[in-house]
Structure 1
Amino acid sequence: MSAETPDYKDTLNLPKTDFPMRAGLPKREPEWLDRWARIGVYDRLREKEGRTPFTLHDGPPYANGHLHIGHALNKILKDMIVRSRQMMGHDARYIPGWDCHGLPIEWKIEEQYRAKGLDKDKVDVVDFRQECRKFAEGWVDIQREEFQRLGITGNWAEPYLTMNFHAERVIAEEFMKFLMNGTLYQGSKPVMWSPVEETALAEAEVEYHDKESPTIWVKFRVAEFELPDIVLSDEEATDESREAVAAAEEKVSADLTGAHVVIWTTTPWTIPSNKAVVYGEEIAYGLYEVTGTPEECWAEVGDRFILADNLAAEVMGRARLEEGQYRRLRDVRHSQLAGMRLSHPLAGAEGGDGEWDDLRDFRAAEFVTDTEGTGFVHCAPSHGMEEYELYRDLGMLEQVITYNVMDDGSFRADLPFFGGKRILRAKAKNGSWEGDANAAVIAKLTEVGGLLARGRIKHSYPHSWRSKAPVIYRNTPQWFAAIDKPVGDGQDENGTTIRERALTCIDKVEWTPKSGRNRLHSMMEARPDWVLSRQRAWGVPLTCFVKKGALPTDPGFLLRDEAVNARIAEAFEAEGADAWYLEGAKERFLGADHDPAEWEQVFDILDVWFDSGSTHAFVLRDRADGTEDGIADVYLEGTDQHRGWFHSSLLQSVGTTGHAPYRAVVTHGFTLDEKGNKMSKSLGNTILPEEVVEQYGADILRLWVAQADFTADQRIGPEILKGVADGYRRLRNTMRFLLGSLSDFREEDRVAPEDMPELERWVLHRLAELDERVRTGYESYDFQGAFQAVFNFATIELSAFYFDIRKDALYCDGETLRAKSARTVLDLLFHRLTTWLAPILVFTMEEVWLERFPGEDSSVHLTDMPETPASWRDPALAEKWAQVRAARRVVTAALEVQRTDKVIGASLEAAPVVHVEDAAMREALQSVAFEDVCITSDITLTGDPAPAEAYRLPEVPGVGVVFEKADGEKCQRCWKILPDVGTHRHPGVCGRCDEALG
């Protein structure tokens, strides 16, 4: 620029905004949280009238610790659902809740007691329960603040708590519905039992980890043997044949009497409770005899063992017998097995008339296989569900049920040899929970010659998800809901039993992903009766009474009286469930109609899954901000809740209402580290939400959630978060350009779509397409797809294409139709991008919104996504501009080569010749200002064949670009190089800029 040429910078309409590129989210986000609370955003949204309600029912986390990354994923997903539905025109309500009862909290209080040397059992139960309540209240406050810091919207002032008095009342009422409809019963059967926590566990409270267990091969001697009768026909019944049969029978009897049936088990501690051995009717068995033995072998020459043929070699190998040291003597038929009775390996160990001297039952069972073990299964029906069900169906439970194992997992004190021995330690030692019971049993079996072999096995084994200790199957009296018994009168469109209703309702629910349906359906098909009772103190008690001296099978065993139920409910509403434990409670609730001396009060507490399964009743049904029909539009939790909350909620609801409590169920996976490993403190690979928020801000964590396929397991770590932050900066740059370019937008300058240039109308077409994609994505819970569509549009189609092209018009045109049209489109873009992204980037979009629309009552979260007219769609125009963009890619790639070679510094220095073979494409390019589209000073379009040196892109055939430098002088205002520069009234500018300068 010469000394005479003015500086035209101030004449340009450059972007003006204070919106910073550096977000500073960790510091600024709390300010927006305070602002939302101050102006009451959530409550103001509820005041909008005429909207269809949409309710996501919150699965309650336990109030017992700081949030982990799984909590953050879960709550952010829920928040994106609630916010997006609200901004699409619904009244989207969200009532956060907490699970406050049960073992997780009781366990913490017991730990505190132990640390102080106190005995929980010597503390008044109501005082103990109050300690649990205070503990839960403290963590509710902490977690509420942590959830809110993530930008989660909801009725935080009035969350639901399972320990609120009304909630405890409703939980008790829901339980009493099972009492009254005939599905409640007391039974004694094996349940998963935690000796460490001294309570029964639900399937959902169990997780599987590898465990090393002792494994033993145990000998059960054939003590009695009765051959099946062999019936000869008249023709066969000769003296010779009779003698042959007798000899054969004598031989079989000699071979089998005194032989041993061998069983294999990974739970030696169950051997003292053995009552039977079973075999498989489809399995081939043989009698094997030991012919030689190595040193250190428990088998002796002449020993005979009955084994499944498929497993015999493996068993003999375990006994250290090699091939040639044993032989197969004969087949053992099932009819022969049926004639045997076995003696327990500990028979006679006490010197006569002892614990194990009765003969053991021996019969066929369907669950026996020959894929591992010996082909025989030892049965301790008190500690195995399949054995229990076998003898239950035979009507023989009284003969086979034992009570050898106490609540703490120790053998009863008077059990010979093993009294007081513990299956598990009370506390792990060097990572092992192994007690002394297994070793004691193995030692005794060795002493009496009952073992054939022993070893160790590493296998997947159930553990309590709280104490992390292994669990056992243990027969205990428990309360159950029968899921195959007609509910009440059985009249219901979805089925007569709880199982039938649940299976029917599953197919009426929308599942995301679809595999969730199959998972829950298969679980519901196979599940046993629901164990409702726990032997703890903190929770809602089983509010029922049983007749003293009566058996559970006796008529009138359970008291069923609506008046009693009503008194209990009224007391719980006023005083909470503690009322059950107060002195005189029994007399108070029974009233004058029942003699307290005749009834016993039940003090077991309800499984916490019954608590959370009942939330639909006291949240959806009872609250003013619940739902009219007591059904939620969606439940969303982790995939583990197919056996947890989804499962118990369905069971509870179909048992009391006949229908599912949800219309849709969405499940997410688990969070893993960057290498796909499970997070653990010991590995040091945990990512805490608090740390991410402190370093990056909550919006980055929310963006990570939006970019992930939540239906599978997600990975997170430092490098992944850096990538998310980089993407965020690109998006922030797009919003900054919008704000800057709209600083002088005036409503009176708005241009109607039909009057806009083609490029603007193409953007409107894309907005119409995207609006449908975004709404469909949010409605189908495809947040990843919705966000990715908006992100690519914003950073590629806008920043790298439309903005890049229109900067020249916006900066230099002045008040032209093209510039006004561009600013109109930018305004339309602003309203859609901010509202489309607000459910994800709650803080950033609020910042963007307030930068343009400041004011105490202003908030993007009080705004709906604007309706996008269908008339904006123009497929023909979109097809044309697809050709324009394709040709542009060839030009920009050709110019990049020249820039790299330092032939030019900027694309405006070029005036390329573009050879286009296709006449239709050439016509499309000629109908637009293709030089502006390519950001060159000039461009020449020709149908002539491209010379050999022309630049080409394989993906755009028929287009070749020959580089030419622009001819003329550089305009000192717009920087285009044009021949007319310097020939106008204003020095050093082109004709367009001269006109803009006036």
Structure 2
Amino acid sequence: MSEKRDYRDTVFLPKTDFPMKAGLPAKEPGILARWEDEGLYRQLREARSGREKFILHDGPPYANGNIHIGHALNKVLKDAVVRTQTLLGKDAPYVPGWDCHGLPIEWKIEEAYRKKKKNKDEVPPAEFRQECREYAAEWVAVQSEQFKRLGVMGEWDKPYLTMAPEAEAGIVAELLKFAENDMLYRGAKPVMWSPVEKTALAEAEVEYEDIVSTQIDVAFEIVESPIEELVGAHAVIWTTTPWTIPVNQALAYGPEVDYAILHIHTQPDGEVAKTAHVSHVLIAEALIDQFAARIGLADSHYEIVWRGKGSDLAGTKVRHPMHHLGGFFAEPRPMLAGDFVTTDAGTGIVHMAPDHGEDDFELCKANGITPKFVVEDDGRYREDWGWLPRTDERSGSVINPKFNAPDGPICSDLKEAGALLSASADYQHSYPHSWRSKAKVIFRCTPQWFVPMDKPLGTFDYAVADAGLLGGAVALGTQADKTATLRETAMAAIDETRFVPAKGKNRIGSMVEGRPDWVLSRQRAWGVPITLFVNRESGEYLVDKAVNARIVEAIRQDGVDAWSQENAAQLLGPDYAVEDFEMVTDILDVWFDSGSTHAFVLESDNWPDLQSPADLYLEGSDQHRGWFQSSLLESCATRGRAPYRQVLTHGFTMAADGRKMSKSLGNTIDPLKVMEEYGADIIRLWALSVDYSEDHRIGPEILKGVADQYRKLRNTFRYMLGALGEFSEDERVGVAEMPELERYVVTLLGELDTKLRTHVANYDFDAYTRALLDFMNEDLSAFFFDIRKDRLYCDAPGSMERRAYRTVLDTLFNALIRYAAPVLVFTAEEVWSTRHPANDPNGGGSVHLLEWPEIPAADADASRWEALRSLRERVMEAIEPLRREKVIRSGLEAEVEVPASAVPEGFDTGDLATLFITGTVTLGDGDAVTVTKSDDAKCGRCWRLLPEVDEDGDLCNRCEDVVAKMDAAE
């Protein structure tokens, strides 16, 4: 018997140098270096010059520390937006930026001073600011490289920095527009204040944490009232901030609340109340039971001796529990009607400290009662204050729990005065904390600079085409309604803006609708100064366009150090005497800095590729109260419109178990380490696969799953590269001439194209990535490629069927590599350059210079193929048990009978055997799919079991013809 021929050298197996193992951590830096050497970003700008623009304006991260996983998600999302818009053929430049001023950097420099036993107050301000500037510059450089390592493409050689003199001048120019339009005022209002950082805080700089506080009931003796029964009784207040009692100036009641006087005729059981010299108390009737429980008062211990409405209390006065200290404390306190008083908790009577509460301030102001400014910037009482001054050995910071404790100095003194009815350190509630120091904040009344929310914007002419103090000609907007307030203008702008997800509109809308006046001032050193001269006699700030122009130009030349007393005369000019004016020493809220970026970036000649308003702002959902809002207010006040057309928000990245990431819990994921282990493309694939609109998760197992998805996608491209070896245009087949399966796949590609365009328009990148992966894994690898690999390997190279398959592969490749490029920026470049190396006369260059593909039209009836694929799944399920039991080794050894009724019209049994990758297929009358082992012999080349093969190792008719032609050619 003669030896059978080995036909392996006659099979056309895919060949490619593209490796299965990615090796991304080692490979990606080299690709980055090549992009930089070739000036890829500048090439893109030139290629898209003159096209429709799409401007994503970068919200500046803070220049302080290495990037974290939240930074990575944010920057990858932005990069995906820019790249997909670029792929659509638009001119989409990206200018990154950094927020450089502010407290965290100042703190770092102060920490270094403390280690060196150095006093910040003894360092010249300019020298201190220079150290802050150098610190920020160092982290800008570090973060810039880290963002580039993620594959984020942009103007990295020319970012915007809020600490650049040009930017600082731009910020000052915007501030002075407010001043010129009378949209600034200095007033004393309670603002959120951090005693640790010694500065006012904006709402965006505050986070709320659950804490346990001391709650106390305090009795204020009624000394005067139109109602005789009230005199000698005690009005009882309840508070969770004992430290505010030393600044009490009034009590508030609800005009419509029902009140009662309780006659306490038996000693209470509560330890504190036993020491109180109180027998008649005034409280809201609805809160008697809660009050009695707090002080240990049983029903039999008291009786109601008077009832009345809150409105009956008008004209009533009380005296402070510490009235024996004299001075401020000896003055009677009025009881005032307050609409904010409720019966939800407490006693229905609220103590008023206008220094430390917004409602308190407004009610007292309306009644001619002014703040006393007794708590200093470190949270301690003034030295001259009559109760617990900072010189008292019992004095302490008002945020110190021990200071407010039931046995602390406040409660101890009230107890000794016989006014403390209850005190317990068990009240759980949410309380604002500084997000930087994590310390509790207080409401503290201090002189600050504000932007009014409810004053008509008035005389500012938005139609002016002059960019004003910064020079240049930039259209700022259209003429706005001059009678509208900033709040009304901002609310109208919100209505005109697209929010993704849509719920963002209600979120920012409710914040703007209810927000107080914007507090602009901070009492620190590292920031942009509030460049105002205030007349010492009138208290009014100077409005003079010539002076303002000199201020802006000086800061453009020398940065914020130009705002100094030494330069006052030069800035004021010859028309004003220096001694008549005070230079404001406060700095601007850093949210005003970043809120002005649209002005000094989008409208600047420094970045001529940009334009205003931006098409998109994209940040975390916390920026509804931060950058989105400060930018909105700044632009509405100076331009009468929002600085953006669309706002996209993403959620926060949580640990794999859904908990917040924390170093103490050891559940943080460092993107730098992930890139070292997996590569940047894995982070990108994760970031663009999660539902970023909500909080989302990451962890080691999640990353392993992403890496598995990546390997499948990589191997799909690897297969296409090998299968397309030496493909030429001479081989191409028109779609109309192709077999129906090929036309069906082109139809599917067209459907995918439509889906992806929709996902790009909606910034729905998880749906975009999922659709791409599903198509490549399910429609191609598991279906089309699986079926057609036999044709690729065994058909004659010149056959129309094989040429049609390779034509579709080429169409798929050219589309899919473009679709994948915004997601897997490095891998897409590697794949493209493998097929089109730099010296390729038919291609070369970067994949990222390509535009969205044009998909040829195809007329396949997709519904017929969906039915056939469903039947194919049933066949594969029926084959699997026989394969698992080793009855057969593969579907090629199977004879399959399928229900004739399940086969769409136009498919014969040969077609079905090809599509199911089985030996033979027959049609049956029943509903079941049956599988038996074939008795046919196996072709020695294609391995199919067919009746036409005489014995194992012989060739089927097709293979015999192909081999004969190959032999003849040799």
User: TM-score of the superposition, structure 1-length normalised?
Assistant: 0.91
How do 1:679-690 and structure 2 match up within 5 A?
679-690=661-672
Match of 1:453 among 419, 422, 431: 422
CA drift of 1:531 comes to 0.6
1:963 partner SS: strand
1:140 partner SS: helix
How do 1:138-217 and structure 2 match up within 5 A?
138-217=138-217
- 2:470 is matched with which residue? none
- 2:3 is matched with which residue? 4
Asked if residue 778 in structure 1 is aligned to residue 756 in structure 2, the reply is: no
2:31 partner SS: helix
CA drift of 1:263 comes to 0.5
What whole-Å deviation, never above 9, does each CA across 1:276-317 have from its counterpart, x for those lacking one? 100112221111111212553424697111111121111111
Q: Look up the equivalent residue of 2:941 and give its one-letter code.
A: R
RMSD: 2.0
CA drift of 1:332 comes to 2.7
Q: Extract unaligned runs of 5+ from structure 2.
A: 462-478, 966-970
Asked if 2 retains the 8 angstrom alpha-carbon contact of 1:105 and 1:136, the reply is yes
- 1:232 is matched with which residue? none
Asked if 2 retains the 8 angstrom alpha-carbon contact of 1:421 and 1:435, the reply is no
CA drift of 1:897 comes to 2.2
CA drift of 1:922 comes to 4.5
CA drift of 1:330 comes to 2.5
- 2:954 is matched with which residue? 988
The 1:995/1:545 distance shift into structure 2, 3 A limit, reads same
Q: Look up the equivalent residue of 1:487 and give its one-letter code.
A: L
1:964 partner SS: strand
The 1:421/1:673 distance shift into structure 2, 3 A limit, reads farther
CA drift of 1:210 comes to 1.7
769-778 or 437-446, which deviates more: 437-446
- Cα distance in 1 for partners of 2:243, 2:2 equals 101
Asked if residue 420 in structure 1 is aligned to residue 390 in structure 2, the reply is: yes
How do 1:931-970 and structure 2 match up within 5 A?
931-942=913-924, 944=925, 946=926, 959-970=927-938
Q: Extract unaligned runs of 5+ from structure 1.
A: 228-252, 552-556, 947-958
- 1:950 is matched with which residue? none
- 2:18 is matched with which residue? 19
Asked if residue 900 in structure 1 is aligned to residue 879 in structure 2, the reply is: no
- Cα distance in 1 for partners of 2:871, 2:268 equals 85
Asked if residue 973 in structure 1 is aligned to residue 946 in structure 2, the reply is: no
CA drift of 1:35 comes to 1.1
CA drift of 1:424 comes to 13
Q: Look up the equivalent residue of 1:267 and give its one-letter code.
A: T
- Cα distance in 2 for partners of 1:213, 1:544 equals 41
Asked if 2 retains the 8 angstrom alpha-carbon contact of 1:195 and 1:424, the reply is no
Asked if 1 retains the 8 angstrom alpha-carbon contact of 2:55 and 2:610, the reply is no
How do 1:679-828 and structure 2 match up within 5 A?
679-814=661-796, 815-828=798-811
- 2:467 is matched with which residue? none
CA drift of 1:95 comes to 0.4
Q: Look up the equivalent residue of 1:125 and give its one-letter code.
A: P
What whole-Å deviation, never above 9, does each CA across 1:29-75 have from its counterpart, x for those lacking one? 11111111111111100001331111110000110111111111111
Asked if 2 retains the 8 angstrom alpha-carbon contact of 1:464 and 1:470, the reply is yes
Q: Look up the equivalent residue of 2:514 and give its one-letter code.
A: A
CA drift of 1:564 comes to 0.3
How do 1:251-330 and structure 2 match up within 5 A?
253=228, 255-294=229-268, 296-299=271-274, 303-330=279-306
Q: Look up the equivalent residue of 1:648 and give its one-letter code.
A: S
Asked if 2 retains the 8 angstrom alpha-carbon contact of 1:931 and 1:939, the reply is yes
Q: Look up the equivalent residue of 2:669 and give its one-letter code.
A: I
- Cα distance in 2 for partners of 1:795, 1:606 equals 54
- Cα distance in 2 for partners of 1:407, 1:486 equals 33
CA drift of 1:541 comes to 0.5
CA drift of 1:390 comes to 2.1
- 1:55 is matched with which residue? 55
- 2:475 is matched with which residue? none
The 1:764/1:262 distance shift into structure 2, 3 A limit, reads same
The 1:8/1:749 distance shift into structure 2, 3 A limit, reads same
- 1:230 is matched with which residue? none
- Cα distance in 2 for partners of 1:774, 1:564 equals 54
- 1:853 is matched with which residue? 836
The 1:141/1:480 distance shift into structure 2, 3 A limit, reads same
- Cα distance in 2 for partners of 1:192, 1:579 equals 30
Asked if 2 retains the 8 angstrom alpha-carbon contact of 1:813 and 1:993, the reply is yes
Asked if 2 retains the 8 angstrom alpha-carbon contact of 1:421 and 1:437, the reply is no
- Cα distance in 1 for partners of 2:958, 2:557 equals 81
The 1:544/1:312 distance shift into structure 2, 3 A limit, reads same
CA drift of 1:723 comes to 1.2
- Cα distance in 2 for partners of 1:892, 1:83 equals 40
1:383 partner SS: coil
- 2:968 is matched with which residue? none
What whole-Å deviation, never above 9, does each CA across 1:328-378 have from its counterpart, x for those lacking one? 223133343124111111112x2xx42211110102111111011111111
How do 1:516-555 and structure 2 match up within 5 A?
516-551=504-539
Asked if 2 retains the 8 angstrom alpha-carbon contact of 1:79 and 1:839, the reply is yes
- 2:490 is matched with which residue? 502
Asked if 2 retains the 8 angstrom alpha-carbon contact of 1:291 and 1:302, the reply is no
How do 1:195-594 and structure 2 match up within 5 A?
195-227=195-227, 253=228, 255-294=229-268, 296-299=271-274, 303-348=279-324, 350=325, 353-392=326-365, 394=366, 396=368, 399-420=369-390, 433-434=400-401, 436=403, 439-456=408-425, 457-489=427-459, 492-493=479-480, 496-551=484-539, 557-581=540-564, 584-594=566-576
- Cα distance in 2 for partners of 1:37, 1:433 equals 54
CA drift of 1:462 comes to 0.6
- Cα distance in 2 for partners of 1:760, 1:831 equals 16
Asked if residue 118 in structure 1 is aligned to residue 118 in structure 2, the reply is: yes
- Cα distance in 1 for partners of 2:44, 2:707 equals 31
Asked if 1 retains the 8 angstrom alpha-carbon contact of 2:910 and 2:920, the reply is no
443-452 or 646-655, which deviates more: 443-452
Aligned length: 935
CA drift of 1:629 comes to 4.8
- Cα distance in 1 for partners of 2:454, 2:904 equals 74
The 1:494/1:866 distance shift into structure 2, 3 A limit, reads farther
20-29 or 760-769, which deviates more: 20-29
2:375 partner SS: coil
- Cα distance in 2 for partners of 1:425, 1:717 equals 48
Asked if 2 retains the 8 angstrom alpha-carbon contact of 1:64 and 1:136, the reply is yes
Q: Look up the equivalent residue of 1:129 and give its one-letter code.
A: R
1:806 partner SS: helix
Q: Look up the equivalent residue of 2:949 and give its one-letter code.
A: V
Match of 2:901 among 917, 921, 931: 917
Q: Look up the equivalent residue of 1:256 and give its one-letter code.
A: L
What whole-Å deviation, never above 9, does each CA across 1:670-693 have from its counterpart, x for those lacking one? 111111111111111111111211
CA drift of 1:941 comes to 2.2
Q: Look up the equivalent residue of 1:679 and give its one-letter code.
A: M
What whole-Å deviation, never above 9, does each CA across 1:382-429 have from its counterpart, x for those lacking one? 11011112233x251xx331111011111000112310179999999x
Asked if 1 retains the 8 angstrom alpha-carbon contact of 2:257 and 2:309, the reply is no
What whole-Å deviation, never above 9, does each CA across 1:228-276 have from its counterpart, x for those lacking one? xxxxxxxxxxxxxxxxxxxxxxxxx2x4221111111111111111111
Asked if 2 retains the 8 angstrom alpha-carbon contact of 1:171 and 1:540, the reply is yes
- Cα distance in 2 for partners of 1:626, 1:373 equals 60
Q: Look up the equivalent residue of 1:23 and give its one-letter code.
A: A
Q: Look up the equivalent residue of 1:219 and give its one-letter code.
A: A
Match of 2:820 among 825, 837, 840: 837
Q: Return structure 1 stretches of 4+ with deviation > 4 angstroms.
A: 299-302, 421-428, 626-629
- Cα distance in 1 for partners of 2:748, 2:615 equals 31
Asked if 2 retains the 8 angstrom alpha-carbon contact of 1:25 and 1:698, the reply is yes
User: TM-score of the superposition, structure 2-length normalised?
Assistant: 0.94
- Cα distance in 2 for partners of 1:506, 1:423 equals 53
Asked if 2 retains the 8 angstrom alpha-carbon contact of 1:972 and 1:989, the reply is yes
